[in-house]
Amino acid sequence: FARKGHFSSDSTALRSSSQLSLDGVSTHGGNAPEEAETTLSVSGMTCASCVSGIERHLASLDGVSSVKVDLMTAQATVCHTSQLVSADTLRAAIEEMGFDASVLSSATRHDQNSHAANSAALILGEQPVESWFNVEGMTCGSCVATITALLTGLPGVISADVQLLTAQAMVKHRPRDIGIREIANVLSGAGYQTTPLNAGSDANGALLTDPSAMALQNLQKHRRQAGIRFAWSLLFSIPMLIISMIIDMALPASNPTAKLFHRKVFQRYSVSVICTFFIATAAQIVLGAYFYKHAFKSLFRAKTANMD
């Protein structure tokens, strides 16, 4: 009985010490697993297949809870346990796949929670925030410079980053001094149709307001418009090439087609001159309207000249 009692007391003590050690692990921040969020720059991605491959590879690592790779911004955001996988390990894993990667930022949940003290200033609009806008109508670097000057001249605007390729603008401002609707109205009044973007919207509208999704949509729209203008340019340039280079220059004067196009009309102009005149005029109206419209907006609304 004495041995049994001694064994029972030892077991109780062991369980108690184990419980204390577990409690020590769970209560001491140094030993508890810390969730971290790391943002990496990834270069070399060309399509959605690259994005999905990187996401699958990173998600397979121990300690990684979520991965989001953005093709437009060439960045990857990874939530992971810092004790199991480090930021350098994530970078090395991406480089193993043949992409160039660098760590932009890495912060633990504890570091992120330390910003909660600024919540009051954020609510009051005193803390600067970054707002994204979709800006239509930009055609060249002059448009970018004009919009940047307009934005930085507004009260409450700290900085502005205008991107011509994605047709977007990121504005850092104080909401107390100027709101996103006021910023959008200023740019719209200058001739650039502007729509505020909000990456934190609900699931039903996320694809319409997320800056990355909107940037991809803008690129696709630009490609469609460029393809249509290219088709119209072929429609006008091919007849012009045939008339001016083949009929007028390559065919002999005795050729019936050449005689038809060289025949004088109105006692002065030949048929080929009249045809090329109407083709060139139609090209100016159809293809040039895009540039004339934006040049008009730039001159009379933004009060500046651009490449148009």
Token digits of residue 168: 């977007």
213: left (phi over 0), alpha (psi -120 to 50) or beta: alpha
Share of the chain above pLDDT 90, in %: 15
Q: What is the mean pLDDT of the chain?
A: 78
Share of the chain above pLDDT 70, in %: 75
Of the pLDDT bands very low, low, confident and very high (cuts 50, 70, 90), residue 199 is very low
How does pLDDT run across 135-157, given as a tens digit for each residue? 988 888 888 888 998 899 998 89
CB 298 within 8 A of CB 304: yes
Q: Which of 136-150, 163-177, 199-213 has the lowest mean pLDDT?
A: 199-213
pLDDT of residue 137: 85
Token digits of residue 178: 């100027």
CA distances from 283 to 125, 224, 234 (A): 51, 19, 10
How does pLDDT run across 277-296, given as a tens digit for each residue? 999 999 999 888 888 887 88
> Is the pLDDT assigned to residue 95 strictly greater than 50?
yes
Of the pLDDT bands very low, low, confident and very high (cuts 50, 70, 90), residue 61 is very high
Residue type, 198: N
Q: Which of 18-27, 92-101, 216-225 has the lowest mean pLDDT?
A: 18-27
**SS3 state at 40:** strand
pLDDT of residue 2: 42
Whose tokens are 């660098």? That residue is: 102
**Average pLDDT of the residues in 209-236:** 79
Q: 150 Cβ partners below 8 Å, 6+ apart?
A: 186, 187, 190, 302
